[in-house]
């Protein structure tokens, strides 16, 4: 099992100025103790839990403080406020600074407020995402003469500078929270990073099975496929005892769940996001930490032994990488959790 980390500079226990520097220190430690990859999602107008609106700037700083850990945007949002060429250029700049440690995970986004501010009709996000990825695939395949002609972007042959080291085609992944998105990732030859929305392990298995089936049937060339299943854990924390872990991170787990409810409920009424409506069946769980820890893969709060047992269960389901969101807590607690995972969990599961 690979262990990765996602952090979004949650300023609940800090300020933006302090939190960005804390994140750099935390990922420097994660690099040393054996974490596989780091990423952040691109978020706008979503404080205090999500404050990284210019992720490439943060990646560049982290690239200069780390040596091994992969830098993988989780996720880049290729909507019309981003030109695909700009996404490729910025990714290549981070690749150069990290000496070739860059991958790319993308998704269409699911925050109604962000879409409204940037003037995006939610009913168009699937089409925009598909065209953006078509353009990016062309750019990465032909960086010296990239070309795309579509509804949302149109450009003739142009050289994209800088380029990924060796002008290579990057490993691509897609963040997916529905069965349909898992199918799309498989069809396009991408890896998938699942987020099961608190819908439970059976739903996660349904998503993984759908992905495996379609990825096995993809017609994408083998040198451009990246078949793997990752799982994003929205709230993670590891401590020496279960009681300590839940005491320190229980409020964060419940707060993150409430944030998810607040985002998904209005989004569920939008075209193309009907799968989110299932979140309404979980309203009575908003203060049930025990239920969240035991019945959903989105929360991992416990001891190293708890982590090892959960990893064994997820591996049997087909998960190959667990992406932990360890955020929203005081810096010293996050550092202690990373140390413990690196010392006792990672060696025992590899």
Domains in the chain and their CATH numbers? Answer: 2-349 (3.20.20.30)
pLDDT value at residue 13: 87
Q: Is the pTM of the predicted complex or chain greater than 0.85?
A: yes
Q: Does residue 300 carry a pLDDT above 90?
A: yes
User: Looking at the predicted structure, is the pLDDT value of residue 55 above 90?
Assistant: yes
| The pLDDT value given to residue 329 | 96
**Could you give the CA distance from residue 265 to residue 260 in angstroms, rounded to a whole number?**
8
Q: Which alpha helices (H) appear in the chain, and where do they start and end?
A: 16-33, 55-63, 84-97, 112-117, 125-141, 179-188, 201-217, 242-267, 289-295, 304-317, 331-340, 346-349
> What is the dihedral sign for C-alpha 200, 202, 206, 212?
positive
User: What's the mean pLDDT in 255-276?
Assistant: 89
pLDDT band at residue 279 using 50, 70 and 90 as cut-offs: confident
**pLDDT tens track for 320-341:** 999 999 999 999 999 999 999 9
Cβ atoms of 51 and 8 within 8 Å: the answer is yes
Task: Phi first, then psi: give them for residue 231, nearest 5 degrees.
Answer: -130, 125
| 141 — pLDDT class (breaks 50, 70, 90) | very high
pLDDT at 278 over 90: no
Centroid of chain to Cα 113: 19
Q: Given a cut of 90, is residue 275 above it in pLDDT?
A: no
Joined tokens for residue 30: 């994660």
Q: Is residue 279 within 8 Å of residue 198, measured between CB atoms? A: yes
pLDDT at 175: 97
- What is the Cα 195 distance to its own chain's centre? 9
Calpha distance 319→310 (Å, rounded): 11
Q: Which residue, 105, 100, 21, 95, is CA-closest to 58?
A: 21
Residue 142 has pLDDT above 90, yes or no: yes
Q: What is the torsion angle, in degrees rounded to the nearest 10, for the CA atoms of residue 48, residue 53, residue 56 and residue 61?
A: -40
Q: 276-296 in b/e burial notation, b at 16+ Cβ within 10 A?
A: beebeebeebeeebeebbebb
Q: Say what the pLDDT of residue 183 is.
A: 98
Q: Over the chain, what is the mean pLDDT?
A: 96
pLDDT tens-digit map of 190-230: 999 999 889 999 999 999 999 999 999 999 999 999 999 99
């Amino acid at each position: 099992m690979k262990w990765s980390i996602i952090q979004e500079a949650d300023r609940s226990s800090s300020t933006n100025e302090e939190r960005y520097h804390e994140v750099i220190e935390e990922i420097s430690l994660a690099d040393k103790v054996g974490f596989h990859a780091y990423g952040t999602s691109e978020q706008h107008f979503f404080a205090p839990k999500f404050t990284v609106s210019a992720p490439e700037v943060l990646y560049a700083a982290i690239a200069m403080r780390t040596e091994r850990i992969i830098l993988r945007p989780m996720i880049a949002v290729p909507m019309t406020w981003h030109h695909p060429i700009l996404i490729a250029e910025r990714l290549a700049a981070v690749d150069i600074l990290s000496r070739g440690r860059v991958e790319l995970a993308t998704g269409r986004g699911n925050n109604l407020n962000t879409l409204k501010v940037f003037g995006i009709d939610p009913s168009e996000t699937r089409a925009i995402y598909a065209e953006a990825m078509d353009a990016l695939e062309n750019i990465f395949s032909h960086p010296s003469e990239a070309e795309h002609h579509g509804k949302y972007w149109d450009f003739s042959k142009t050289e994209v500078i800088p380029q990924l080291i060796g002008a290579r085609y990057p490993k691509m992944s897609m963040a997916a929270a529905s069965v349909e998105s898992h199918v799309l990732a498989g069809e396009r030859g991408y890896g998938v990073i699942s987020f099961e929305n608190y819908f439970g392990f059976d739903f996660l298995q349904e998503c993984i099975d759908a992905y495996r089936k379609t990825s096995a049937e993809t017609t994408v060339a083998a040198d451009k496929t990246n078949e793997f299943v990752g799982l994003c854990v929205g709230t993670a924390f590891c401590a020496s005892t279960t009681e300590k872990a839940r005491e320190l991170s229980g409020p964060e787990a419940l707060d993150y769940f409430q944030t998810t409810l607040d985002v998904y409920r209005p989004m569920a009424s939008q075209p193309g996001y009907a799968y989110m409506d299932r979140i309404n069946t979980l309203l009575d769980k908003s203060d049930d930490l025990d239920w969240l820890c035991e019945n959903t893969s989105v929360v991992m709060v416990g001891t190293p032994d708890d982590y090892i047992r959960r990893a064994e269960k997820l591996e049997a389901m087909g998960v190959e990488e667990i992406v932990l969101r360890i955020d929203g807590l005081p810096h010293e607690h996050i550092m202690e959790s990373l140390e413990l995972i690196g010392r006792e969990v990672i060696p025992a599961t590899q």
